[in-house]
Amino acid sequence: MKRTLSNPLCPKILNCRRLKLKRKRTNLTKNSQTPLSSTSSSQNPHKPLKKRQLKEQAKKSEELLASVEKLVSLQVEERAIVAVQNKEEKIRMLEVTEGIKNQYLDCFMIASLQALFSVREFFEYYFEGDFGEKGSGGEGMEVSRELHQVCKKYKRARGKCISVKRFRKYFNGDFDNYKQHDACQFILHLFEKLQKEHSPETPFSQSSGHANSIEAWESYTEDLHSIIDKLFVGMSKTTFTCHSCSNSTSIYEEFKTIPLQCTSTFTFPFYETSTSEFNCSTCADITSCSITNTISHYPSYLLLPFQRLDPFISSKITKSLPFPSSFSPSPTSSLNYSLLSTINHHGFSLEGGHYTAACRRGKSGEEKWMQCDDAHVEEGETDGDEYVLLYGSRRKGG
């Protein structure tokens, strides 16, 4: 007897199961034959798209980096050009703004030279000049030649300080080393040496034989060949008028400086009067007279020292004193003077302390004020301790 299975499956169900199993085997076979890249592609269809984006982003980053590098390069190049232009502009504007070494307590001489170098004609004359063994005055040209060397070093220093040790030795006998001296006295002493090297010593007649101021000045300059006389020397006229007979006698004198009183207002002494006794040639006796002091010939450059030394207490007047940046010497004068430089003294006595200079440098209309303190030079105006003022003239309206 045959055994009967429980829950028998019908032939249709069995056929369906066989078909599913066959399909599953077929799929497994296909999957085993599919390459890995294809499988990865089918499993992650977005990955190739990300690679393209990365390539595009990398390309953009490279382009951006190249643009930045180009911009930085242009900026660096532009800064270099600006730096060169600024340096050239500084050299062009300031021209000569080098410092001078202080080796023997020579600040009085250094400040004086810096102030005088603000006078373009003076500097160029000794920078470009050719000074032989003997001058027209018969003296050796040692000081002029050495000043020529100082101007050459000064002009070509380009930011470095220079030494004036050799120039200093020509003044050792009158201005001892390691001692403070008066800057204004040094300038006058330097002028005297330069005048002797260039011009013969012919005494100038101060008598009243000159018909007028023009004749007196022509008589003085007739045999002179010094740049000092052409730039810094003026002439004063003193007239004595007798009260008894009204006879007038005039005396002419050359000058290089005009002292200024330390007052609360700036006053230029172009005209002064006083009363005194006078030996009148007409009356042949000592009579009372009026004295009038005027300037008959104005120099191209005025040196005006303040009388800061108080004769009663032998100490320096340290207060700040007023002075103009420009002025006309008299109401009738056609000249106008502009401030070029100042020599400043710091301290309580002219026998000690320290000298500096404030100098105007550059072309007309483009000047800058420079503070010159020995080897150190920087942009800045004068500081209120002015001792000597140096003015240059020009015609009004010119």
The strands making up 248-255's β-sheet, listed across from edge to edge, are 248-255, 234-242, 285-297, 271-280
Q: What is the pLDDT of residue 101?
A: 93
Domains with residue ranges and CATH for the chain = 96-395 (3.90.70.10)
* Among candidate residues 398, 361, 343, 275, the one with its CA nearest the CA of residue 109: 343
Q: Which residues of the chain have pLDDT under 70?
A: 1-50, 83-97, 133-139, 200-211, 223, 311-314, 395-398
In b/e form, how buried is each residue of 120-137, taking b as 16+ CB within 10 angstroms?
eebbebbbeeebeeebeb
Query: What six digits make up the tokens of 35?
Result: 């390459």
Q: What is the pLDDT of residue 16?
A: 67
Q: What is the pLDDT of residue 6?
A: 46
Q: What is the pLDDT of residue 219?
A: 79
Q: Distances from the Cα of 299 to the Cαs of 121, 186, 258, 285, 394, in angstroms?
A: 13, 19, 11, 37, 11
Q: For residue 370, give the H/E element and its range.
A: strand 368-373
Q: What is the pLDDT of residue 313?
A: 65
Q: What is the pLDDT of residue 4?
A: 47
| Structure confidence by residue, pLDDT tens digits, 73-95 | 777 777 777 766 665 554 444 44
pTM of the model: 0.72
216 burial class (0-12, 13-18, 19+ CB within 10 angstroms)? buried
